[in-house]
Each structure stands twice: as C-alpha cells, then as structure tokens.
Structure 1
Amino acid sequence: MYCQRIRHLREKPRLTQTEIANKIGISQSAYKRYEQNEIKRYSETTLDNLAKALETTTEFILGEEGQHDKFEHVPPEFLKWIATEESMAYIMEAFIKFQ
C-alpha cells in the first residue's frame, strides 16, 4: 500500500524516481525498491525525508490519514489572496513590526 501512495505522489507532479531519490539522499535503485514494495519498513529519517520531498505527511504515506496535500484544507480564496502583492505587503509589514 505504501508503494502505491509514494508512486502516485511522485507521478502526480511528474517527478522521476531519480529526482526523488536525490532529494532524500538515496540511490535511484534504492528508491525503486520502495515503489516496488521490496522494502517493507522505512527508517524514520527516510520516511521524514520522503514526506518532505513528496510534499505530504508521514501519516499519509503510512496510511494513517486520508489527506496528503498540506493545503487541501485551506480555502481556495485564501490561497489566491496569499499569492497577491497585497498579501505580501501585509506580511512584510507584520514581519517588520514584530522583529
């Protein structure tokens, strides 16, 4: 099951096995073994790095939660606003104020 999740998460943004392997510090052949379910247990470090590289949570990879996108719960209106110049000005003002 883990193998299907990590493969889906890698393929969704069209990343290669080599790209993910490089991000988590292992060889492509080692990463391939994860996707082929040849490695059943992940080290904590590898699992953490894999979750970061795939922009998800360790819980999702392990099947402990149904949501993998960290921003799925954020309202779309907020995501649109946060990308505007207005929001950047507001954030910079707040940052300067609280330094």
Structure 2
Amino acid sequence: MSHSISKTKIHFSGKFAIIAALLVGFAFTNQASADAFTQTQQAAVDQHFDILARQQDKSDNKILNNQQQNFDDELEMAEDKFMTQICDEHGRVYDNKSQTCYEQ
C-alpha cells in the first residue's frame, strides 16, 4: 500500500493580503454602527442605569459599613490589649467595662 502526499502550492500576494485585511476591517466597522434609540428605548436604558447606580451605592455603603465595623472592633481590641499591658506594668488590673485601671 502506497501513501502519497500531494502538496498544493498556494501563492499569496501582498495585494491579496491587503484586500483581505480591508474586507475584514470593513466587516467589523459596519457591525459597530447601531441605530439611535427611540425616546422610549432611551428612557428604559436611563431607568436601568439609574437602578444600577442605586444598587451600586447600596453595595458600596454596605462594604464601607462592614469595613468600618471591622476597623472599630480591631481598634477596640488593640486599645484593650494596650490598656491591659499598661495597667499590668503598674501593678493594676484593667476593667474593660469601666475602661479604668484599679489596684488589686
């Protein structure tokens, strides 16, 4: 059994490549143009973007509030740790509720 591979030579010219590139370019640019919205369509799009903006604001506020709460919690823990250490150094005990040092 004999296998033969046939080779086909295809010659591309520079002119053919330029024409092909232009055709592809025109195909993309023609698809990029769209008709203008009607007033009803534009109102719907504007309403949609307004809803998205409000949702984004809610989301941003929620994230900021969570970050602020985490910061406040960590700051309070750091203050308690610092005050406990300072009170211990002076032979006193730190009370978290009253935020004062008292003698043992």
- TM-score tier, shorter chain, comes to under 0.3
Instruction: Name the one with the larger strand percent.
Output: 2
* TM-score in terms of structure 2 length: 0.22
* TM-score in terms of structure 1 length: 0.23
Larger Rg: 2
1 or 2 for the larger relative contact order (CA 8 Å, sep ≥6)? Answer: 1
